[in-house]
A and B are shown apart, each in its own frame.
Chain A
Amino acid sequence: MDKGNVLEVRGLSKQYKKGVYASEKVTFDVRKGEIFALIGPNGAGKTTTIRMIATLLQATEGDAQVSGHSILTEPEKVRRCITYLPDEAGAYKTMKGIDYLRFMAELYAENKEEAEKYVATGREICELGDRLNDKIASYSRGMQRKLLLARAIMSRPDLAILDEPTSGLDIINALEIRRMIKKLAMDGMSFLLSSHNMLEIEYVSDRVGIIAGGHLLETGTPAELIGKYRADNLEDVFELVVMKKDMEG
């Protein structure tokens, strides 16, 4: 594994039944401190790829290494290096926000002190103040998402996998989160994002992977891709790549 890479994905495939691939031979890298975004239409294989990297689904072919650990042979070590925030993820509604942060922190931390450090970081990131002492059931969707994001980031993992990180957040909160992701990446944390929001991806990502029909069709920086396809923005690139794939059958 290249020392500069946090994630190396090599020929990763998920076959549900013979001939039906949700994801086929996907290969890409995420470097240390890099924000890599997977974009694609619904059913393209983004979530399946992400779930395989998060060790939730078992790959039928290929492998991926996170900080030098294989998702196939060392899934528990991989989980120590990552955090995963699923799209539309929920939190335990009967818990108070602060208790949720503490519960999750204790699953990642080696000791009580480390857990408390994570909680303090999480409290700072989510900016929920006293509302952290309220039950999560009373939170708005945006508040819940901020809490979940704080949970995903507070332990400073090698790789944070965020599926639609700003969904449900208003413009101001979404901007804050994007800035935070960029700042954390500058500090050395790597991100694997998945999003439908092309503006967000263009703003926040260092590199982009366009996925459709289970295949990774293009990778590059937003500027490279825009230049390659002589497009105005990433949205146009996305449309051209997906249309080309559809035309090729």
Chain B
Amino acid sequence: MKFKTLFIKELREMLNLQTLMVMIISVLVLSLAGQTMAKAVRDNAETMMDINICDQDGTAFTENMIKILKANLAKYGGRVNVVEIESDDYPKELKKADVKSVLIIPAGFTENVKNSECAEVKSVQRLTSLASMSNLNAGSQTAVEYLTAAVKEVVFGSKVSANKLTNSEVEFLNQPLVLKETTVVTDKSYDVQASVIVQMCSVQAMLVPIVLFVLVMMSSNMILNAISTEKVDKTLETLLSTPVSRISVITAKMLSAAVVAAMQAAVYMFGARHMMNGIINTTDNSDYSEAMKALGLTMNAGQYALVGVQMFLSILIALSVALILGVLASDAKTAQTMTLPIMMCTMIPYMLSMFIDIKTLSPVTKYLVYAIPFTHSFMASENAMFGNLNVYAGGLVYQVVFLAVCLFVALRIFMSDRIFTMSIGGGKRRGRTSE
């Protein structure tokens, strides 16, 4: 009985309207993010089996292989798009053909097969994002399997049935095709497997968002607590009645939080860079690290600076939003709840950027996600690495404008009576202040 009374009292205190609101909003936001990701997965699945193929050999054998390939891939909903690749300048050729990847059957392919010599097939893939779902392409792999099967069929048909198989031909049958992979990033290309590059980059790509997420949450919590505690403890009234301007008070708070956040950002980025160098420069990965350098995927000081600028802007935005939200808090519990909007606005782009290339979302969804100012910082390292300077610049301008608006609103609140009269939670504020 006594325990039940205690339990109900605790439950009532914890399960208040604010907690319920947090739950409802979390569910809504997460399901929205889930829907966006589900759509991206569906879109990806629809094109996953599609391949672009370039027949540089142009023999009856290769034409026939492509026909069989078309028929086989069609069973899985895949399409074969024949494109022209005229030179080894793959960045330029992919751009010209307007494709992200291509499978090239080089000249002399049929001749090699006829001579039972290992034939080469080239796979060229352009990386535009490091999001895990943006580089899924099962079509090329399936195509290589079908090409291998087709080659084997020819060899079996012409030689095995005639009982004329030599030892070297048996060896050839074990591996009739060699896949030579080339990865293209912006205007650079390197003979390396794209999936390995994505794996290598994923550490780098994930590190910045994690650091950013932590920093935004920490700095916004700092300022939110600073303001709400001053309000709740009634130290703010004393402070604002001293001979200092309100702008000085707000600037001192913002600046100190920004300095701490900037120090944290610098330390994290310094650590991150060293960690990345540690991973990339190990002996085992030396070939791949060379490839990453050649593809421009190891960030230089300038690129780190670009990422740093957007991270710092995100922190400042979080600080100014937290400043406004801190004014609304009437007690410690409300102050904690106030971090929710910032947390949600950080989590959505954080999760989306890990899985999907935000640039490829439908226009409405894309601009909705872009409207969240933190999105641009989550995309910053990718934009810097892949040379998406227009997207970077657009994001930067948006963040600066957003920050200016937030600072203006925060200043307006701080300079007016609203600093004392605005509140959420804790009952009717005005009644308490207008005694």
Q: Which residues of A contact B (CB under 8 A)?
A: 14, 16, 22-23, 42-48, 51, 54-58, 76, 79-80, 82-86, 88-93, 104, 107-108, 148, 151
Contact = CB atoms under 8 A, between A and B. Distances in A.
The dominant DSSP class at the A interface is: mixed
B429 to A, nearest CB: 11
B430 A16 contact: yes
Interface residues of B, number: 20
Given A57-B417, A58-B417, A108-B243, A84 B238 contact: yes
A19 to B, nearest CB: 14
B237 A89 contact: yes
A86 B237 contact: yes
A55 B241 contact: yes
A104 B242 contact: yes
B242 A107 contact: yes
The dominant DSSP class at the B interface is: loop
Q: Which 8 A-B pairs have the closest CB atoms?
A: A90-B233, A22-B434, A84-B241, A47-B435, A107-B242, A79-B243, A80-B243, A86-B237
Given A79-B241, A107-B242, 16 more contacts: A14-B434, A46-B435, A47-B433, A48-B433, A56-B241, A76-B243, A85-B238, A86-B238, A89-B237, A90-B234, A90-B235, A91-B233, A92-B235, A104-B242, A107-B243, A108-B242
Nearest to A58: B417
Nearest to B235: A90
B405 interface: no
Contacts of B434: 14, 16, 22-23, 43, 45, 47-48
Nearest to A83: B241
A16 B240 CA distance: 21
B241 A44 contact: no
B175 interface: no
A50 to B, nearest CB: 9
24 contacts: A16-B434, A23-B434, A45-B434, A51-B237, A51-B420, A54-B237, A54-B241, A55-B241, A56-B420, A58-B417, A76-B243, A79-B242, A79-B244, A80-B243, A83-B241, A84-B237, A86-B237, A86-B238, A88-B234, A89-B238, A91-B235, A107-B242, A107-B244, A148-B238
Nearest to B234: A89
B157 interface: no
A67 to B, nearest CB: 13
Interface string B360-375: 0000000000000000
